[in-house]
Chains A and B, each alone.
Chain A
Amino acid sequence: ADIISTVEFNHTGELLATGDKGGRVVIFQQEIESMPQFRSEYNVYSTFQSHEPEFDYLKSLEIEEKINKIRWLPQKNAAQFLLSTNDKTIKLWKISERDRRPEGYNLKEEDGRYKDPNTITSLRVPVLIPMDLMVEASPRRVFANAHTYHINSISVNSDNETYLSADDLRINLWHLEITDRSFNIVDIKPANMEELTEVITAAEFHPHQCNTFVYSSSKGTIRLCDMRISALCDKHSKLFEEPEDPSNRSFFSEIISSISDVKFSHNGRYMMTRDYLSVKIWDLNMENRPVETYQVHEHLRSKLCSLYENDCIFDKFECCWNGNDSVVMTGSYNNFFRMFDRGQRRDVTLEASRENIKPMQVLKPRKVCVGGKRKKDEISVDSLDFNKKILHTAWHPQDNIIAVATTNNLYIFQDKVN
């Protein structure tokens, strides 16, 4: 139940939310020490139970409480809002601080007991006195019963009024204020389920254009849709697809081409997709192939059969951009994660682990060796631990601070170099 299932920074980077398999959300807050060295720490700010296990009596199915995604809303007032979702239900949570409490009621004692009205001889105005900071999370909206299949994505629109939720076959558009209605904007369910060939794996709104969103499929394609064209966006405006390399064909070609995550760049000109072995960056103006492709763990290509047997081939890795879209990051096995610097054409493999690492120590780059000769400090493919996987990573929107989730732990790394 402590397995982290999603990680997300808010829009300023001050707060970091994690969701876990037990339905809990833990929010960390940044505290910056300017002395002796510029360093930020993230400490627990709030913890609450977002979702509980539920039972669908009609289908005799249990609904898992695992939090699939968390998305923050841009801040509008003193409180913070986030959307969290499990397989079936999305909830809007308000996280607010309380650092004062009222004192001096006329009718109540300090401990809450009611006074005998006959003993009151004068009236006074209650005053607010400081108290220890208390962070409260309260569910403000519950968006339920709109998805037959399992929700895999939510995305807040740049208009700050609507958001989308996507399951395997449908995408719904919601208004943040309205919980009893949602509009279906994409429906790829075939009339005959036997003809099903692909499912929706991820969806996201464009960061600036409130009419544009994309969704990725299990076949490795991405469709960009414009909501101005028609109410139902089954017909795409753009279809991004790279022809398959016939030399790489295997039993598992379809599985490894399934896209597990899609993310727009902050500037809105590119989008990044993650499939099992690679990360691809697409220019929104070019549909026939990605502009950049990065191999995350090519050494696994020859191991696909064993990865199929131990279920690892079904792992859904996420990916993320840094604040200025120059570097992208994604996770791998053995608690390794990879960063690709687009401008400098460099990549690095790092490890998130408690062994051999002291706080503030600089991470040493790791390397996986494929051939026979293993150099010192390298790891051979066969000694990789496939139970230690990094599926969820997040990058601070402005600074070089990253959050990396291993199975049970959250690691926060900071880049010192300016």
Chain B
Amino acid sequence: MEVNAEARRILAVSISKLYASRSQRGGLRLHRSLLLSLVMRSARDIYHSSVPPAEPMDTSPEEPAELDLESGPQPDETSAELSLTARGGAHREEEGEPAEDKENQSPTRCSRKRRGKTSVAPHFLPSKRARLEPGEERHAALPPPPPVSCRIGPAESLTSLSLNRVIPLPGRGGPAWRSFVTRTHGGLARTRSDS
């Protein structure tokens, strides 16, 4: 069906835009992320209305849509959760819990996360997604690695704490400083107007 193919294409484009916006200068733009998630939701609804609901892509676009909305000041968290949902169920069991225990998430998030349904990533998602997290793939396949010192890159030693990946900002020095960010600060920076 044409509409179906169109919906899938739009979903693929949207997801690659979401990935691209993480490395944008100035941080994640809330408005843009919101609009992207709305488009993804529309596309997903159209896709579902034309395809039986047993499709494997059932949960994966929804989670980026929901989780991405929190992305304003917490780009690392979003990227972590996107990679989480896009991968298979095996990873989910291992890494779902640590990701969920991030201090910024409200308690209801645990119950809303649907896990284990997706065993195969949708075929239209950009394949380079897998290559972005070589560290995490290895982590799933091998037993927990021995403590690693000072390893820059998709640091496996960090994955058990959080799923921040090292994404070098274009033209602004190497990834070195980013690997020290294990968790974003609890809550948003307090400003006087908040109190």
Instruction: Answer yes or no: are A and B bound together in one complex.
Output: yes
The 4 closest A-B CB pairs, nearest first, are A64-B26, A193-B70, A61-B27, A184-B193
Identify which of B6, B30, B75 contacts A199 (C-beta below 8 A).
B30
A52, CB-defined interface residue at 8 Å: no
Residues in B neighbouring A168, C-beta threshold 8 A: 30-31, 72
Known contacts A58-B185, A184-B194, A196-B69, A308 near B13 by CB under 8 Å: yes
**Stretch from A145-153, A346-354, A376-384, A403-411 at the B interface:** A145-153
Let me know if B69 and A61 touch, CB within 8 A: no
Residues in B neighbouring A66, C-beta threshold 8 A: 26
| Distance, CA A391 to CA B186, complexed state (A) | 37
Proximity bits, A9-51, B CB within 8 Å = 1, else 0: 0000000000000000000000000000000000000000000
- Closest partner residue, chain A, to B180 (CB atom): A60
A181, CB-defined interface residue at 8 Å: yes
Give the distance to chain B from A337, nearest Cβ to Cβ, in Å: 24
| Distance, CA A182 to CA B6, complexed state (A) | 47
Known contacts A150-B29, A182-B192, A255 near B72 by CB under 8 Å: no
Residues in A neighbouring B10, C-beta threshold 8 A: 251, 305, 308
B46, CB-defined interface residue at 8 Å: yes
| Distance, CA A165 to CA B193, complexed state (A) | 12
Residues in B neighbouring A114, C-beta threshold 8 A: none
Proximity bits, B19-40, A CB within 8 Å = 1, else 0: 0000001110111101100110
A158, CB-defined interface residue at 8 Å: no
| Distance, CA A112 to CA B112, complexed state (A) | 72
Within 8 A of B (CB), among A221-272: 251-255, 258
- Closest partner residue, chain A, to B13 (CB atom): A309
Taking Cβ atoms with an 8 Å cutoff, the residues of A that contact B are 56, 58-64, 66, 87, 145-150, 168-170, 172, 180-184, 191-194, 196-199, 201, 218, 251-255, 258, 305, 308-309, 311, 314
Identify which of B7, B30, B74 contacts A150 (C-beta below 8 A).
B30
Known contacts A218-B35, A254-B42, A255-B38, A60 near B191 by CB under 8 Å: no
Q: Interface on chain B toward A: helix, strand, loop, or mixed SS?
A: helix
Interface centre among B26, B39, B169 (most CB of A within 10 A): B26
| Distance, CA A198 to CA B34, complexed state (A) | 8
Residues in A neighbouring B70, C-beta threshold 8 A: 193-194, 196
B115, CB-defined interface residue at 8 Å: no
Known contacts A60-B178, A149-B72, A308-B10, A255 near B26 by CB under 8 Å: no
Let me know if B35 and A148 touch, CB within 8 A: no
B142, CB-defined interface residue at 8 Å: no
Within 8 A of A (CB), among B53-97: 66-67, 69-70, 72-76
Let me know if B193 and A150 touch, CB within 8 A: no
B1, CB-defined interface residue at 8 Å: no
Identify which of A60, A148, A199 contacts B181 (C-beta below 8 A).
A60
Let me know if B35 and A255 touch, CB within 8 A: yes
| Distance, CA A66 to CA B27, complexed state (A) | 13
Q: Count the A-B residue pairs with Cβ separation under 8 angstroms: how many? A: 115
Given contacts A148-B191, A251-B39, 14 further A-B contacts (CB under 8 A): A59-B73, A59-B184, A63-B27, A87-B27, A149-B73, A172-B193, A182-B193, A192-B106, A193-B70, A193-B72, A194-B70, A196-B70, A218-B35, A255-B39
Within 8 A of A (CB), among B138-194: 169, 172, 177-178, 181, 184-185, 188-189, 191-194
B108, CB-defined interface residue at 8 Å: yes
Known contacts A182-B192, A182-B193, A251-B39, A194 near B69 by CB under 8 Å: yes
Give the distance to chain B from A377, nearest Cβ to Cβ, in Å: 35
Residues in B neighbouring A147, C-beta threshold 8 A: 191
Give the distance to chain A from B50, nearest Cβ to Cβ, in Å: 14
Residues in B neighbouring A194, C-beta threshold 8 A: 66-67, 69-70, 109, 112
Residues in B neighbouring A255, C-beta threshold 8 A: 35, 38-39
Known contacts A168-B31, A251-B46, A254-B42, A148 near B72 by CB under 8 Å: yes
B18, CB-defined interface residue at 8 Å: no
Let me know if A254 and B69 touch, CB within 8 A: no
Give the distance to chain B from A281, nearest Cβ to Cβ, in Å: 24
Residues in B neighbouring A314, C-beta threshold 8 A: 32, 35
| Distance, CA A289 to CA B120, complexed state (A) | 47
B43, CB-defined interface residue at 8 Å: yes
| Distance, CA A197 to CA B29, complexed state (A) | 14
Residues in B neighbouring A218, C-beta threshold 8 A: 31, 34-35
Residues in B neighbouring A63, C-beta threshold 8 A: 26-27
A-B CB contact pairs (8 Å), 28 listed: A60-B181, A61-B27, A63-B26, A64-B26, A66-B26, A145-B191, A145-B192, A146-B193, A149-B30, A150-B27, A150-B30, A169-B30, A181-B193, A182-B192, A183-B193, A192-B108, A193-B69, A193-B72, A194-B66, A196-B69, A197-B34, A251-B7, A251-B10, A252-B39, A254-B35, A308-B13, A308-B39, A314-B35
Residues in A neighbouring B178, C-beta threshold 8 A: 60
Give the distance to chain B from A87, nearest Cβ to Cβ, in Å: 6
Residues in B neighbouring A64, C-beta threshold 8 A: 25-26
Give the distance to chain A from B89, nearest Cβ to Cβ, in Å: 22
| Distance, CA A66 to CA B39, complexed state (A) | 28
- Closest partner residue, chain A, to B104 (CB atom): A193
| Distance, CA A278 to CA B151, complexed state (A) | 52
Residues in A neighbouring B109, C-beta threshold 8 A: 194
| Distance, CA A253 to CA B178, complexed state (A) | 38
Let me know if A201 and B193 touch, CB within 8 A: no
Known contacts A148-B188, A184-B194, A194-B70, A62 near B172 by CB under 8 Å: yes
Interface centre among A59, A150, A199, A218 (most CB of B within 10 A): A59
Residues in B neighbouring A184, C-beta threshold 8 A: 193-194
